Chains A and B, each alone.
Chain A
Amino acid sequence: MIWWNYSFPFSEPSADGPLFAHANEQSLKSGTTVDQCFEFMREVSARFPFKVLMMGYYNTAFKMGEERFVQRLKDAGGVGYILPDLPVEESANLHQLSEKAGIEPIILMTPTSSDKRLAQLGALSRGMVYVVARKGVTGSKTKMGDDVLALIERCRQHTNMPIGVGFGISGKEDMDFLRGSADLAIVGTAALKTWQESGAPGLKKFFAALMA
């Protein structure tokens, strides 16, 4: 199963490492608008079979209004969203609107979440759960080890949703390592880097190798 996380650019990407932060900045400099992002999402979801998620920062949703955000996401064929800077304490209204529209709010679980916090997050999880493999921001490689497996195990105790693991997944070894433990692997920076270095053909090869 393939899901596609589509990043809407934001001017203050404080959860992103240098590569994504720079991509956000370049995208805005070249004039990308939220309208264009939804339009692109609509085209992609009409053409490809994979599930499309909006990934970004809460202000994008807040500024247009939560109700409108959910509606536009749905109209564009999106199935959910990931907003890492929106704490669950502040998300009751958005989650309610999402449920009504059949849109999934993807919740993040992190290595610093206590069991109590995981239980709270788990109770609210829909669609899938995004397990952040290590502390920090997007970008640098995560050393896949027992701590990652233990974290996934800990998260499983609090949710029945499929678990996606992201942050620092860079190649096939990581995929192999996670197979049997995670349900989805979330690849971001490594793909962007490949695309920047070797364009579409390189990216095609990169994904073919990942899925092999």
Chain B
Amino acid sequence: MSWDRACCARRLGKRKVIAETGAGQHGFATATMAARFGFDCKIYMGAVDVARQRPNVFWMENLGAEVIAVQDGQKTLKDAINECMRDWVTNMEDTHYILGTACGPHPFPEMVSWFQSIIGLEAREQMLTQTGRLPDRVYACVGGGSNAMGIFQGFFDDDVELIGVEAGGLGVGTYMHGARLAYDDASVGVAQGYKTYFLQNDDGNMNETHSVAAGLDYIGINPIFSHLWEQGKVRFEAATDEEVKETLKLTMRTEGLIPALESTHAFVTALKEAPTMAKDEIILINQSGRGDKDIFTIADALDDAKWKSFVEGKSDQYRAERG
């Protein structure tokens, strides 16, 4: 998608690009594109996310992007979006805002959805080539909704069940999650330039959110999804932090897959529902990213002693080098 956005920025005659990022994946992609196309690049990322997704920060910076740790609010994705909007209204003359998720003011939700639709088009074609038919169910994790919109668009006109999986965080009733549609805690509001279901209080101020996955730790959801959910066209479920950690162990050991913590949410629900399906039914899961970036979080979750002693060793080495 970042190549499409590069073409946009060029066409608009902009020299600089800015982007928000939660998990760092979109920031990484934008920084890569900027290096290749010669744009100045600034990435806004909540300070909490900078701390938990250091590998992506490392690559963004080494690709030449300036990574700004946003200290406002909850210091996560939503605050990074606010900061991008502030930058853009100030510097719109020479700056293009490459909003990563399918949220924000018009035309971003539609524009990002359209750019991401390549995922669904390709997945549909591959499925037909490899199995001769369409999948019965498609699962995707939902932060703002870009990867899910991307893959679901390949199947909107088909008799295929579409399931979006949100961040269940600490679970139902804890108010520490990112489940706008799967749980009952969100209501319709207008913020960050768009109208959708938000996790907010009665005054219209946003509630704290939580997820082990930085990319799903967000207050709102693509407005097209809110509409499709109200119409019963897309089903929404949530996966908790605990379920994600357990499922990740399973996919690593049994499938040789290391999905990102975000993507693992889709695996949780798919694996939970698979036993209720017929043997010959086909499940398609969108692995929106790889888990390499999550090595610190996963190592913590697994309480991996060897990793910890490696990191301790490294930190001893750096301390000794500094004298």
Q: Are A and B genuine complex partners?
A: yes
A210 CB-CB contact with B under 8 Å: no
Pick out which of these stretches binds chain B: A4-12, A40-48, A123-131, A198-206: A4-12
Pick out which of these stretches binds chain B: A56-64, A99-107, A178-186: A56-64
B255 CB-CB contact with A under 8 Å: no
B200 and A59 contacting across the interface, CB-CB below 8 Å: yes
A28 CB-CB contact with B under 8 Å: yes
In whole angstroms, what is the CA distance A13 to B193 when docked?
11
Q: Which residues of A contact B89 (CB under 8 A)?
A: 15, 135-137
Checking B91, B92, B191, B205 against A9 with a beta-carbon cut-off of 8 angstroms, the contacting residue is B205
How near does chain B come to A130, taking the closest CB pair, in angstroms? 15
Nearest 7 CB-CB pairs, A to B?
A63-B204, A136-B90, A59-B204, A11-B205, A14-B82, A11-B206, A14-B85
Q: Which residues of A contact B204 (CB under 8 A)?
A: 10, 34, 59-60, 62-64
B189 and A59 contacting across the interface, CB-CB below 8 Å: yes
Chain B residue nearest to A56 in the complex (CB):
B204
Chain A residue nearest to B104 in the complex (CB):
A14
A25 CB-CB contact with B under 8 Å: yes
> Which residue, A21, A34, A59, A85, has most C-beta atoms of chain B within 10 A?
A59
How near does chain B come to A143, taking the closest CB pair, in angstroms? 14
Given contacts A12-B191, A14-B82, A57-B191, contact A63 B90 (CB under 8 A): no
A-B contact pairs, 18 of them (CB 8 A): A10-B205, A11-B200, A12-B82, A12-B191, A14-B81, A14-B85, A14-B193, A15-B85, A16-B86, A17-B86, A25-B73, A28-B205, A59-B204, A59-B205, A63-B200, A85-B190, A85-B193, A136-B89
A112 and B206 contacting across the interface, CB-CB below 8 Å: no
Q: Which residues of B contact A137 (CB under 8 A)?
A: 86, 89-90
How near does chain B come to A72, taking the closest CB pair, in angstroms? 12
A196 CB-CB contact with B under 8 Å: no
Chain A residue nearest to B189 in the complex (CB):
A59
Main secondary structure of the interface of A (DSSP, over half): loop
How near does chain A come to B122, taking the closest CB pair, in angstroms? 35
In whole angstroms, what is the CA distance A181 to B171 when docked?
58
Checking A11, A15, A62 against B190 with a beta-carbon cut-off of 8 angstroms, the contacting residue is A62
Chain A residue nearest to B220 in the complex (CB):
A12
> Which residue, B90, B189, B204, has most C-beta atoms of chain A within 10 A?
B204
User: Considering only CB atoms and an 8 Å cut-off, how many residues of chain B contact the other chain?
Assistant: 24
In whole angstroms, what is the CA distance A185 to B212 when docked?
47
How near does chain A come to B219, taking the closest CB pair, in angstroms? 8
- Quick one: CB contact mask for B60-97 with A, threshold 8 Å, 1 for yes? 00000000000011000010011001100111110000
A22 CB-CB contact with B under 8 Å: yes
Q: Which residues of B contact A112 (CB under 8 A)?
A: 92
B303 CB-CB contact with A under 8 Å: no
Q: Could you list which residues of chain B lie within 8 angstroms of chain A, going by C-beta atoms?
A: 72-73, 78, 81-82, 85-86, 89-93, 187, 189-193, 200, 202-206
> Which residue, B73, B86, B89, B203, has most C-beta atoms of chain A within 10 A?
B203
Q: Which residues of B contact A62 (CB under 8 A)?
A: 189-190, 204
In whole angstroms, what is the CA distance A13 to B204 when docked?
12
In whole angstroms, what is the CA distance A135 to B89 when docked?
6
In whole angstroms, what is the CA distance A95 to B202 when docked?
23
- Quick one: CB contact mask for A19-38 with B, threshold 8 Å, 1 for yes? 00110010010000110000
Given contacts A13-B82, A25-B73, contact A60 B203 (CB under 8 A): yes
B78 and A34 contacting across the interface, CB-CB below 8 Å: no
How near does chain A come to B206, taking the closest CB pair, in angstroms? 4
B86 and A136 contacting across the interface, CB-CB below 8 Å: yes
In whole angstroms, what is the CA distance A35 to B90 when docked?
33
B86 and A14 contacting across the interface, CB-CB below 8 Å: yes
Given contacts A135-B92, A136-B90, contact A12 B190 (CB under 8 A): no
Q: Which residues of A contact B86 (CB under 8 A)?
A: 14-17, 136-137
Q: Which residues of A contact B205 (CB under 8 A)?
A: 9-11, 28, 59
Q: Which residues of B contact A135 (CB under 8 A)?
A: 89-93
Chain B residue nearest to A89 in the complex (CB):
B106
In whole angstroms, what is the CA distance A21 to B82 when docked?
10
Q: Which residues of A contact B85 (CB under 8 A)?
A: 14-15
In whole angstroms, what is the CA distance A62 to B85 when docked?
21
Given contacts A58-B190, A62-B190, A136-B86, contact A25 B203 (CB under 8 A): no
